[in-house]
Amino acid sequence: MTNIFVQVENFEKKKYYELAPKWRYRYTSDLSETVKIFSGQKAAQNNNWKLKGALKKKIEENLKHVIIFRVVDFFNRINLIYGTVCEYCTKESCPTMSGGPKFEYLWADGKEYKKPTALPAPEYISLLMEWIESQINDEHVFPVTVDVPFPKTFHSLCKKILTRLFRVFVHVYIHHFDRVVAIGAEAHVNTCYKHFYYFILQFELVPQKELEPLRDMTAKICHEVPDSVFQNHNHQK
């Protein structure tokens, strides 16, 4: 698999390290609340009603930039994680892109693969990373300046990207985690997964049914998430 981390890293530094708004996220034990701070002031505490409409619009626009930044960041990190096991992920060892016997993922891009198609895991993931890179580098899709509006499909596209990236986590954890442990990367991968999970959970960016393959593992390592969250997820299957 071609390593595209350097290319996207340069893109990220040039476009988002400077343009990303000054948001910070603090996940608490209650994931129904995320403390959002923009430009050093809590938007929720703004009592000037005349500015509420403008502030809300500003927050929504800047939240989109935050999502872009996180999508690029997770793309880089998950690409690197897969790179640690790709030598062992072959057409022979992984003839289908799957997460155990119950979950198989089909590839479709609307171009070369117009219909959902079963592919070996390494081919699926390679096509996925190339597709995400093309989306990230398209400034009409991921705008980097204020004069370029966000497309109407922005939110649905981000959900699609993050859903497919989650499938890479599923495949790595279920089929290649022994390799992750062998090279001493378990803590790093778990930490990355937790950050990813908290983010997609907070903003509902991945459908609940997609989370099912790693539900038990998630309940064990994501201790900050109340048990009721996992119970609610079970009811929504």
CA separation (Å) from 137 to 20, 34, 125, 196?
A: 16, 29, 18, 21
Q: Collapsing DSSP states into helix, strand and coil, what is residue 89?
A: coil
Is residue 210 within 8 A of residue 218, CB to CB? The reply is no
Is 171 one of the annotated binding-site residues? yes
DSSP string, 16-72: TTTTS--EEEEE-S-TT-EEEEETTEEGGG---GGGHHHHHHHHHHHHHHHHHHHHH
Which secondary-structure segment (H or E) carries 189?
Answer: helix 186-202
Is 222 one of the annotated binding-site residues? no
Is 89 one of the annotated binding-site residues? yes
Q: Which residue has the tokens 């998950």?
A: 78
d(CA 71, CA 149) in angstroms, rounded, equals: 18
- Torsion sign over Cα 170, 172, 176, 177: negative
Q: How many CA atoms lie within 13 A of 230 on its CB side?
A: 17
From the annotation, which residues make up the binding site for Zn(2+)?
89, 94, 171, 176
From the annotation, which residues make up the binding site?
89, 94, 171, 176
